[in-house]
Amino acid sequence: MNFGPLPSVDAAAVPSEGFVLDVREDDEWAAGHVEGALHIPMSDFVARFGELTQAHEDGARIHVMCRVGGRSAQVTQYLLNQGIDAVNIDGGMLAWEGAGRPMVADGGNPAFVL
């Protein structure tokens, strides 16, 4: 078990080709998200863990995202305990939006953080 400080990264420092896992709920995702991110709500995460391992076959670092960083911190800790290279995105989607990083929304609507 890892009890050290949780590894984290600023939203502005996430590589544009980085693997992003969004653990927010469906309504939050629909309002605005990182294009190409994998969406598995934290409430379904353990049940849907296999989707992550399938999508993440190359072993690249996983950048975990929620709205402000609380839920993603819990998921990051879980992934680290599974031996997976994961970091929490500090400040979540609010920091992502604040850093001017690109976002998309479902249905072609203007993206925003719910």
Catalytic residues: 66
Give the DSSP H/E element, type plus range, for residue 63.
strand 62-65
Residues 6+ apart with CB under 8 A from 99: 10, 11, 12
- C-alpha neighbours within 13 Å on the C-beta side of residue 90: 9
Nearest to 40 by CA among 75, 90, 91: 75
